[in-house]
Each structure stands twice: as C-alpha cells, then as structure tokens.
C-alpha cells in the first residue's frame, strides 16, 4: 500500500530467508518482492522494495525498529552458521527500488550475481573436502599396493597408493582446478561487460557470462557436491563420523544445488532461455571461442586434450542442434534433457580451461620459468580430465537424444 510520504507499507510473509535476522551487523536491508494494489496476479505485477530492519534517518543514523520480524528459524541439514528465517512483514515501511511492476527484472541483477556466488560455494566446499581427503589418504595405512608394497617397513601402504582412491582424488583435483579457472574466466567476463572501452566487447562479455551463469551455478554445484561426497568416501568410516568434519562439507555443499533456483531450474534456464537468447548469439560466440582455441592448439604436445575436447565440443554442438529440432516440437524433450545438456556443457567449459592451462604450462616449461612441479601437476591433471571426464559427453548426448518418451510414459497415478 502506498504511504503519503512516498514510502510503501508492506504486509506478508517470506520463508527461507538466509540471514533474515541476526545481530552481526547494525542493520539489515531486506530486498522484498511484493505486489502493489491492482497489479496483475502474475510475475508481471511484481515490484521490488527495500525494507530496513531499522528505519534509516536522513542523517544516516538508525531510527525506529521497522515492523519486520523473524517468526521462526528453520532446522536444517547444513549451513548452520546461517539463520534461515521465516520473516513477517506487518505494515513494514519499504521503499520501491526501480520501477513499479519491473521488480523481477531488477531482482535478477542480484540473482545473477548470487548464482555466480553460489557456484563459488560449490567449488569452495569441494576444495576444502579435497584438501582434507588428500591429507588423510597420505596418512592412513590400509592394504597393499596392487603393484607391490610402497611402504615395506610399515604394516600397510598409505591408501593414496590405491587406484580407486586416486580416482576420487584426481577427479576432485581436476574439478576444483578447472572450476577455479572457469570462475576466474567468468569474473573477467563480468569486468569486461562493465568496463571494456569497446561497446562490442562489453556486449560479447555480457553474452558469454549470461550463457555460462546457469552452468557455473548448476554444473559447479552438482559437481561440487559429488566431489565433496567422494572426498568423504576417501576417509572410509571416519568420513561418516562427525569428528572428522567431512560430513559438514557434504551437508553444506548440498544446499548450493537447491537455493538461488534449483539446478533443475538452472538447466531449464540454460536450454529454454540462454541458448536461444538474442538469436543464439552468445551460444555461437562461446562455441566459436572453444573451437577457435582448439584449432589454435597446433602444438602436438596438446593433442592429448585438444582431441577429446574437440569430440566433446562436437557432442555439445550436436546437442544444441538436437534441442533446436526437437525441443520446439515437444518442449518436454528439452525439459527431459536439460540436466544432461548442462553437464555436457560444463565438462566442455572445464575442458576449455584445461586446454588453456595446459598451453600455459607448456609455455612456462619452454621459457624455463616458474615452478616445474606446479606446471607438471597441471599437465597430469589435465590428462586425467581429458581421458576420464570429457568422454562422458558421449553418454550424456545419448541421454539427451533419448528425448522425453521414456521419462514421461508412466502416468502420474502409477507412481
């Protein structure tokens, strides 16, 4: 309801509000979506408001407590340091942000940034879990290496000698280092989209980061959780015992797949909106960028990654074509394959980073600069990613191309 002084009076309830109430800061400014009187009963009727916990006086000092209160704090699986609140607004004073009924578009400025932030959470949880798993794997003695004792003086070998443990650690490493590179690549696109002097460059950077945002959020947190749980597995029984803290990484990583829009919604955003946005301009630009970098990798020492990446890129290109031909005719085809497509694209986005990192490592070797062990580790990890992760795009493409039939055949009442 509008107030005489230009502010608004807001009534209603929000659930699941992260850090909705706490005393870690002097004030809390809530961003609130709400409908003005007479606004259409759809997303087109939504406006965005700021609602402070304490009204801010003209001189910046804090004034009266606003009528926004915490009704309950949720008990949840993880992220226990973050109070997830039910918030009640009882005629709370708010101020419209942006234009009336353009609230959702305004909110997306924050949401897009938050989705990139949540992608970083996936990476961070996975990396912390990886570091703990490596330390444990070097210290825990159990079994003997399949190829003869590596610690003959001891009663057993450290578990890091076992290929199955290595599989989990190498997968974790190839994800965390690849994802970190992708996040930095994305951060540069964000900077360029705002600060590049050339308008075309700003536009291109914006197209690319818009396309990759659901991948960074969805793929980044799906894989982040997988990695965290694999690293928990490295600790065996101790991974399940709270004392070691691995359960916390798994529990905390789980929310990143859910909030800021579930990963299912990220995948739908990717195939339903981002791929075709502006006539597919960003998609063509990104596919062209990866293809161009593969074509430029003429050094035969890069063939180990350029070849598998080229095949995986072909799977993604075929996936885009398939979606164009079959997603329009039957939207369930796009919905049923969206998650597989997002994962495919994520693998290629990381493969692209591994190609670039491998090129940089070889250049450093050739120049004789830097820490040779560091660059060697990069190349070893890139080889793992090329041989063990990238080929998965072929089976993901098959899943996508299987379409919606097998997914949708069973009537709901038969479940």
Ligand X SMILES: Cc1cc2nc3c(=O)[nH]c(=O)nc-3n(C[C@H](O)[C@H](O)[C@H](O)COP(=O)(O)OP(=O)(O)OC[C@H]3O[C@@H](n4cnc5c(N)ncnc54)[C@H](O)[C@@H]3O)c2cc1C
Three-class secondary structure of residue 325 per DSSP: helix
Q: For residues 84 and 326, which CB has a smaller minimum distance to ligand X in the complex? A: 84
By C-beta, is 170 or 255 nearer to ligand X?
Answer: 255
Output 245 or 261, the one with its CB closest to ligand X: 261
Backbone angles phi, psi at 54, to 5 degrees: -115, 130
CB nearer ligand X, residue 78 or residue 307: 78
- In whole angstroms, the minimum distance from the beta carbon of 400 to ligand X comes to 16
User: Residue 373 corresponds to which tokens in the numbers above?
Assistant: 């062990």
210 closest CA partner among 270, 259, 163: 270
**Rounded CA gap, 272 and 275, in Å?**
7
Smallest separation (angstroms) from ligand X to the CB of 265: 5
Give the distance, in angstroms, between the CA of residue 371 and the centroid of all CA atoms in the same chain: 30
User: Which residues, including other chains, have CB under 8 Å from residue 172's CB and lie 6 or more apart?
Assistant: 126, 129, 130, 133, 227, 230, 231
Contact 215, 269 (CB under 8 A): no
Instruction: Report the nearest approach of ligand X to the CB of residue 106 (Å).
Output: 14
Tokens 């004073």 belong to which residue? 93
Q: How far is the CB of 44 from ligand X (least distance, A)?
A: 18
**End-to-end alpha carbon distance in the chain:** 45
Q: Which residues bind ligand X (CB under 6 A)?
A: 16-18, 76, 84, 255, 258-262, 264-265, 268
Alpha carbon distance 253, 179 (integer Å)? 15
- H-helix segments, 368-413: 372-384, 392-401, 405-408
Q: Which of 385, 208, 335 is nearest to 280 (CA)?
A: 208
73/187 with CB nearer ligand X: 73
Closest approach of ligand X to the CB of residue 302, in Å? 38
Bridge partners of 65? 54
Residue nearest to ligand X (CB): 264
Tokens 């900077």 locate to: 191
Q: Please, which residue, 245 or 331, has the CB nearer to ligand X? A: 331
| Active-site option among 260, 300, 392, 401 | 260
**What minimum distance in Å lies between the beta carbon of 77 and ligand X?**
8
Place of tokens 């705002």: 194
d(CA 413, CA 386): 44
Q: Identify whether 260 is a catalytic site residue.
A: yes
Supply the residues annotated as catalytic.
260
């Amino acid at each position: 309801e509008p107030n005489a002084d230009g502010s608004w009076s807001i009534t209603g309830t929000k659930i699941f509000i992260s850090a909705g109430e706490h005393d870690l800061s002097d004030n809390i400014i809530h961003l609130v979506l709400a409908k003005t009187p007479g606004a259409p009963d759809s997303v087109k009727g939504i406006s965005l408001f700021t609602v402070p916990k304490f009204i801010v006086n003209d001189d910046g000092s804090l004034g009266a407590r606003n009528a926004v209160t915490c009704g309950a704090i949720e008990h949840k699986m993880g992220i226990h340091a973050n109070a997830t609140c039910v918030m009640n607004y009882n005629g709370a004073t708010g101020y419209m942000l942006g234009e009336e009924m353009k609230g959702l578009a305004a909110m997306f400025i924050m949401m897009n940034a938050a989705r990139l932030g949540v992608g970083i959470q996936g990476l961070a949880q996975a990396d912390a879990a990886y570091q703990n798993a490596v330390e444990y794997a070097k210290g825990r003695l159990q079994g003997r290496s399949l190829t003869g004792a590596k610690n003959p003086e001891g009663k057993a070998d450290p578990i890091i000698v076992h290929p199955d443990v290595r599989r989990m650690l190498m997968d974790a490493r190839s994800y965390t280092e690849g994802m970190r590179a992708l996040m930095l690549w994305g951060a540069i696109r964000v900077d360029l989209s705002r600060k590049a002097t050339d308008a075309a460059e700003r536009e291109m950077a914006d197209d690319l980061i818009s396309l990759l945002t659901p991948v960074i959020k969805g793929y980044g947190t799906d894989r982040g959780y997988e990695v965290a749980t694999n690293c928990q597995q490295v600790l065996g029984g101790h991974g399940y015992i709270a004392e070691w803290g691995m359960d916390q990484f798994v529990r905390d990583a789980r929310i990143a797949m859910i909030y800021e829009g579930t990963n299912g919604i990220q995948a739908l955003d990717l195939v339903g909106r981002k791929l075709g946005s502006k006539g597919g301009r960003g998609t063509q630009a990104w596919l062209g960028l990866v293809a161009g970098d593969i074509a430029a990798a003429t050094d035969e020492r890069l063939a180990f990654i350029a070849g598998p990446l080229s095949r995986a890129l072909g799977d993604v290109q075929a996936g885009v074509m398939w979606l164009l031909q079959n997603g329009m005719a039957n939207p369930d085809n796009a919905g049923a394959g969206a998650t597989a497509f997002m994962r495919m694209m994520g693998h290629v986005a990381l493969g692209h980073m591994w190609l670039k990192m491998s090129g940089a490592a070889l250049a450093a070797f050739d120049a004789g600069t830097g820490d040779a062990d560091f660059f060697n580790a990069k190349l070893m990890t890139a080889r793992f990613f090329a041989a063990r992760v990238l080929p998965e795009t072929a089976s993901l493409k098959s899943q996508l191309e299987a379409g919606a039939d097998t997914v949708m055949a069973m009537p709901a009442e038969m479940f």
